[in-house]
Amino acid sequence: MQTVRTLDFVDSERVAVAGNSQGGGIALATAGLVPDVAALYAQAPFLCDFRRGVRITSEGPYAEIAGYLGAHRWEVEQVFRTLAYFDGIGFAARAIAPAWFSCGLMDGLCPPSTAFGAFHAYGGQKEIQVWDYNGHDAGGAQDLATAVSAFGAVLQK
């Protein structure tokens, strides 16, 4: 974030973050760690609500965590305590920039309820677009158009 703000063509007071999947999780973390981010867009944010993800999907990395916990039953609380350090929900609770989220209800990789966990924990003004019949792609190009439109309105001086 600091590097982007040093570029000659960037207005350092109007920097937004956006991403999908892992990029959405990273954008969410950035919004939680950098208090003056101007806006956030997170499409199908990854690595949010680990405990929920492990319980409801057989997709990786959640399946790997479940496999580990199946073999190390006595370490469940320690594992989730450690994962909480980089769970998107913790970052969401710290973030205050206007935010737009998106998720597909048929997403097995980033289950929608994990995105809802981050959305509900989010500390700033927020909106979410839910795509009933989409998977990990969520709204695809329509999500990008929403982000560009929303960012335009927020970032105008």
Given the structure tokens 């073999």, which residue do they identify? 71
Burial (0-12, 13-18, 19+ Cβ within 10 Å), 64: exposed
Write down the pLDDT at residue 118.
98
Instruction: Give the model confidence (pLDDT) of 89-133 as tens digits.
Output: 999 999 999 999 999 999 999 999 999 999 999 999 999 999 999
102 is catalytic: no
49 is catalytic: no
Catalytic choice (49, 87, 107, 143): 107
Write down the pLDDT at residue 148.
87
Instruction: Give the model confidence (pLDDT) of 50-101 as tens digits.
Output: 999 999 999 888 999 999 999 999 999 999 999 999 999 999 999 999 999 9
User: Which of 1, 34, 9, 11 lies closest to 157, judged by CA?
Assistant: 11
How many CA atoms lie less than 13 Å away from 113 in the CB half-sphere? 8
pTM listed for this prediction? 0.92
Write down the pLDDT at residue 64.
96
| Rounded-to-integer distance, Cα 21 and Cα 131, Å | 15
Q: How confident is the model at residue 157 (pLDDT cuts 50, 70, 90)?
A: low
Instruction: Give the model confidence (pLDDT) of 8-66 as tens digits.
Output: 888 888 899 999 999 999 999 999 999 999 999 999 999 999 999 999 999 888 999 99
| Rounded-to-integer distance, Cα 6 and Cα 16, Å | 14
Catalytic choice (21, 87, 102, 143): 21
137 is catalytic: no
Write down the pLDDT at residue 85.
96
Burial (0-12, 13-18, 19+ Cβ within 10 Å), 115: buried
The strand order across the sheet containing 39-43 reads 16-20, 39-43, 99-104, 126-131
